[in-house]
Structure 1
Amino acid sequence: MANENSPEPSYTLYVYYTRYSSWGVRAQLILEYFNIPYKVQYFNYTIPALTPPHELTTLPVLDVSPAPGAIASSSEEESPLRIPDSLAIAEFLADQHPEKNLWPADPQLRALARVAAAQMHSGFAALRDAYPSNFVSRFTGPGIPFPEAVAKDVAKLLALWHRVRVASSKRLRELGETDQGFLCGGFSIADAFFWPVLWRLRSYNVPLAGSTDEARKWMATMWNHPVMKAQGKEYFRQARDSQSHFGVYDDLFKATSDVTSGTFSEDWVFDGDIA
């Protein structure tokens, strides 16, 4: 366990505005949920003055500056460690803060969480391609596409949540530990990785037919938790800033007459269904 009295490195997270960012928002949620201090710099690739510099073209990126008093390297000025990719960032933070259990402490639960996060990190391409991440906007109507490939991805997603919750509940009972309702009991990197796909289901009014009680209870745990609600307020705060606007996402169905575009209210609550 890390020495709580020892100086810690400082973190700066470089991301696109997180109300649209399916990759960067994962890293931000991990930092927020586990109360890891950090600074954030937002970018907007649709506004020339707010595009990231060349060395930050692939976001998110976490810069890690040495802790005050750390042993200096042979170079005169220590460059920060620069970590791209949401999963690499998550793994680095888990290694740096083992006392916070970013992954479950139990090996079996940890394996379940890692498998789930890896599947989200590399899979569900049809769902991702059809529905860009957009937390604030709400699209309804028969013109929203729901092709077979997307329907299959949604079914796989709901089945995955069901399997992980059932297996985790069983393991937690064996361990005699409290089940907090997240994928593997307590909140972990796995939950953070599925946070933006929850938006997609909400923003595009995706049918949840076939979802089990276990899957819906996990969704409710995520949507109604104070940390996720606080993050939601941050996305609405961003929406009030014109610099954060990504027209390509907000105007996705602008020319489609049978889709109604609007926004959610900040006090929206998941009650077992999206509509």
Structure 2
Amino acid sequence: MDYYAIPYKPMISSLEQSTSLSHSRLVPALSVPLPDNPIQITDSLAILEFLAESHPDLPLWPRDRALRALARSAVARMHSGLCRALQTTYHTNFLGRYTGNVPLSAEARVEVERVLALWGELRRETARRLGELGGEDGGFLCGEFGIVDSFFWPVLWRFRSYGLPLVSATPEALAWMKQMWSDPKMREIQRDYHRQGERPETAIPAYDDIFKDLSDVQYSWFPEDWEFYA
């Protein structure tokens, strides 16, 4: 929503307060004041699909049918557990930085290689398809920034936060990562995360320094001016 300046009123509160405001007690939640039937949507993909339907002028899904199918397939894979081990073991921590001997399970390592391969495949196929069509390639997974990029955004953060290995990343995958970290609008979103991190009600203690019992793992915060190099 921030990337395309879709208007909304954010409600930033503690996790306990957020879940109490959600009808399903799950977050994220989007409350939509439809004139005839106000609704609340509490699944990330359902929220994004609603936004895509509400803003057909935006390229939330690729305009090309073939690329749209690829984007939907990638999002469906992610939504159905492509990175389950990464999600359950390595919590989303937008500011935290782990260095040292960060443990990586065999299952998580497989998921790392799998998602890196997927990012590379999407970029290669997108470049090929847009080349055929003579379309402009914005460097995102399927050309322009869209739902597929936003869906893998939390996974990309885990690569940064936990120093996940990039040894199997193709040049195409690395180029997408660079695009995501350096895009001006994404940089602004990252700065907003730092502002949110300064608010005590946004802290989730269970997500901070999850390897504090390991003496060879260090925990700190990333500087706001951090840049991606590979």
- The answer to whether the Cα contact below 8 Å between 2:18 and 2:27 also exists between their aligned partners in 1 is no
Among candidates 137, 140, 153, match of residue 179 of structure 1 = 137
Aligned to 1:263: 221
Q: Identity of paired residues, percent?
A: 46
Once the 2 structures are TM-superposed, how far is the Cα of residue 121 of structure 1 from its aligned partner?
A: 1.4
In the aligned structure 1, how far is the partner of 2:61 from the partner of 2:22?
A: 33
Aligned to 1:133: 92
- The one-character-per-residue Cα deviations of 1:73-118 (angstroms, maximum 9, x if unpaired) are 4xxxxx5121110000101110111011210111001011111111
Q: Which runs of 5+ in 2 are unaligned?
A: none
Q: Which runs of 4+ in 1 moved over 6 A?
A: none
Aligned to 2:75: 117
In the aligned structure 2, how far is the partner of 1:214 from the partner of 1:96?
A: 32
- The answer to whether the Cα contact below 8 Å between 2:14 and 2:202 also exists between their aligned partners in 1 is yes
Q: After superposition, where does 1:163-174 map in structure 2 within 5 Å?
A: 163-174=121-132
- The answer to whether the Cα contact below 8 Å between 1:43 and 1:52 also exists between their aligned partners in 2 is no
RMSD, aligned CA: 1.5
Letter in 2 for 1:32: D
In the aligned structure 1, how far is the partner of 2:17 from the partner of 2:113?
A: 41
Aligned to 1:252: 210
Q: Does 1:213 align with 2:181?
A: no
- The answer to whether the Cα contact below 8 Å between 2:78 and 2:151 also exists between their aligned partners in 1 is yes
Once the 2 structures are TM-superposed, how far is the Cα of residue 174 of structure 1 from its aligned partner?
A: 0.5
Letter in 2 for 1:119: R
- The one-character-per-residue Cα deviations of 1:112-138 (angstroms, maximum 9, x if unpaired) are 111111111122111112200001010
Q: Does 1:197 align with 2:165?
A: no
In the aligned structure 2, how far is the partner of 1:54 from the partner of 1:98?
A: 27
Q: Does 1:59 align with 2:18?
A: no
In the aligned structure 2, how far is the partner of 1:95 from the partner of 1:179?
A: 23
Q: After superposition, where does 1:1-275 map in structure 2 within 5 Å?
A: 31-45=1-15, 52-53=20-21, 55-66=23-34, 73=36, 79-123=37-81, 124-142=83-101, 144-272=102-230
- The one-character-per-residue Cα deviations of 1:44-94 (angstroms, maximum 9, x if unpaired) are 23xx5665236251111111113xxx6xx4xxxxx5121110000101110
- The answer to whether the Cα contact below 8 Å between 2:19 and 2:27 also exists between their aligned partners in 1 is no
Letter in 1 for 2:29: V
Change (3 A) 1:90 1:250: same
Aligned to 1:76: none
Change (3 A) 1:173 1:49: closer
Change (3 A) 1:178 1:240: same
Q: Which runs of 5+ in 1 are unaligned?
A: 1-30, 74-78
Letter in 1 for 2:33: S
In the aligned structure 2, how far is the partner of 1:98 from the partner of 1:160?
A: 26
- The answer to whether the Cα contact below 8 Å between 1:43 and 1:51 also exists between their aligned partners in 2 is no
- The answer to whether the Cα contact below 8 Å between 1:65 and 1:81 also exists between their aligned partners in 2 is yes
- The answer to whether the Cα contact below 8 Å between 2:116 and 2:173 also exists between their aligned partners in 1 is yes
- The answer to whether the Cα contact below 8 Å between 2:22 and 2:29 also exists between their aligned partners in 1 is no
Letter in 2 for 1:126: A
Once the 2 structures are TM-superposed, how far is the Cα of residue 251 of structure 1 from its aligned partner?
A: 2.7
- The answer to whether the Cα contact below 8 Å between 1:102 and 1:189 also exists between their aligned partners in 2 is yes
Once the 2 structures are TM-superposed, how far is the Cα of residue 43 of structure 1 from its aligned partner?
A: 3.0
- The answer to whether the Cα contact below 8 Å between 2:71 and 2:148 also exists between their aligned partners in 1 is yes
